[in-house]
Structure 1
Amino acid sequence: MRRCLEISLRGKGYTAPNPMVGAVIVHRGVITGEGYHKIYGGAHAETNAIGNVKDPGTLKDSTLYVNLEPCSHFGKTPPCTDLIIKCGIPRVVIGTADPNPLVSGRGITRLKENGIEVNGGILESDCRHINRRFFTWNLHRRPWIILKWAQSADGFIDLVRAPGSPVGPNWITSKTARILVHKWRAEEQAILAGTNTVLKDNPRLNVRLWSGRDPLRVVIDRSLKLGRQHHVLDNSISTVVFTEPCKTSTAKERVYPAEGNNIRYVPLLFDDTVGMQMLNYLHSQDIQSLIIEGGAYTLSRFIEKNLWDEARVFTGPKDFRKGVKAPSLQGKIVRQMETGNSHLQFIYNSSSEFIP
């Protein structure tokens, strides 16, 4: 099962909104085939593993290991359970049941109904954790939320910007840390920033220092302060702008009137539930993970509403002495490391069911 988890990670950043799945076939104590789900819409892990077995005749005396319950419904590919049954595999070992209502126990039932021995719950906590984005989307109907920021050694997220200050970030971390951040962007489905961050830093919110897909850009622009001069509205990649209802038509006329472009304005009521409204919209678009790279205000609003699952916090070596205070966060530190000139902490929400 650990091998299943190991190879499943090869699909990270490419399988969403599907989960990451690895499968291993063992015949008389020897691995004869393995495979993983490579890309959304492509063959599933079980199909790839079976296809890699050189002698199909051994399948009738083999065990299939897989970290997630095999699917039993027709989607973009046929049901994996049908292939397992057809190949005569007598035993299947599963890490955890699938939370997807279209599967959720049905795959296990179908295998058992066809005389296949099924064992489940193997390394279940690890199997759920690796697909925490998929589980959160299905069980809580929102994306997995990652907060990310860098702070000075004395706890500031930014310097105070005087009127007329140059636009651009006040770097706290080294390029090594920034490369890591771009790797994270390539692994997640969406990235969010608020109006002030865009006005002060003019970020691109894309992937440049790593190989991979650009996430969906999500921008909060309640009063339509942003325009074509800002990178997030350069129309180069898919972008969602959350704004007030009465401003939406004006935004389309002023910024990108052409149909079929990459920018979509989404009206929201900016009341006490606005954070959840954003998450509901992203859920409706099959977005299972969201990095919030906002400033102190945006990050703090999500923290206050307990709308976060994980935080990744860099602490650099500089003292700012004064500036904008970094957000205050209580949670469980699950990992720490040094990267470049910075100390990096991975913090989980203490109420999370996916703490590793």
Structure 2
Amino acid sequence: MKFDLLQNDPKSQARAGVIHTDHGKIETPIFMPVGTVGTVKGVHQRELEQEINPDIILGNTYHLYLRPGTDILEKAGGLHKFMNWDRPILTDSGGYQVYSLSSNRKIKEEGVKFKSHIDGSYHTFTPERAMDIQRSIGGDIIMAFDECTPYPCDYNYARRSMHMTHRWLKRCITRFDETPDLYGHKQTLFPIVQGSTYIDLRKQSAEAIAATEQFGNAIGGLSVGEPAEEMYAMTEVVTAILPKEKPRYLMGVGTPINLLENVALGVDMFDCVMPTRNGRNGMIFTAHGTMNMKNKKWEEDFSPLDPANYAWVDTAYTKAYVRHLFTVNEMLGRQICTIHNLSFYLWLMREARKHILAGDFSTWKDKMVKQLDNRL
């Protein structure tokens, strides 16, 4: 793998680059649709590839480990072949999903014992096990096993957790280096910066992660309930330390405004369930603000869903029709809004890239943030 940094914005830390993988190139900044259990929910692979057209998608290790399991994935030839997707895939380590099961898990130095949300069975993830599972899944980019701390978080707990994450990282690297790629394509490992919302811890963690000299680096433990201003402050602290010549991935973020503000701080990669989850609940994002398609105001609005036409659904269906689909609880409404939202997120990142390359990103970003903050 290789990362080419092509352009820096003159008035911010925003950058445009290209990550080269065995499954193709990833033009950054990029948003990665979340394919939790081997599918981006509600979207056919054909629509995903031809309409939404992401350079890379994300798979969830915790969910894929439980179902269909590593035996099935290995027999299929890895997740790429199993789901018929020939572009890059990034897999998380399961750390965030285990964090979300806080009432059903126990953390020790060895790893995390947790109870399945499906059948209540007990399982253990260690750093070594997380590497083995991700080898079986076959993602192009895989994540180190970490603990994602909650917000708010006591300083001493955040410090202890951060140091344990660093110790786990050493074990991840050792296991990763001693195991082979299974499916003929190169995998690479990203470590994760932690430290909650404490500046000194974030600095320590960023320095420790950078010192491991992996191909890229991730920022975790944000977008867990903290105010946006704290998210931006922590991101700025970390990106000032992480190597500029390597890609930076901010995990689990976020709204369109969050994406643009963090691009301006030097982040290259994002993922979030928001465009799909909100789409299934009738909320769509546009360049001029958000729209709740369940509102009665759209009942007799026969104009296109979004005349900006980010995806074919935007001009194929009217606002009144999409509202009707939600009123009668028809799954097509959820599919339409999901396709629109993912297409919009990808458009937003590609527009950001264009303006970085043109040298006027900061001016464009400030204008877009004001527009995005509207409720339509």
TM-score in terms of structure 1 length: 0.32
Greater strand proportion: 1
Higher RCO (CA 8 Å, separation ≥ 6 residues): 2
TM-score in terms of structure 2 length: 0.31
Which structure has the larger Rg over C-alpha atoms?
A: 1
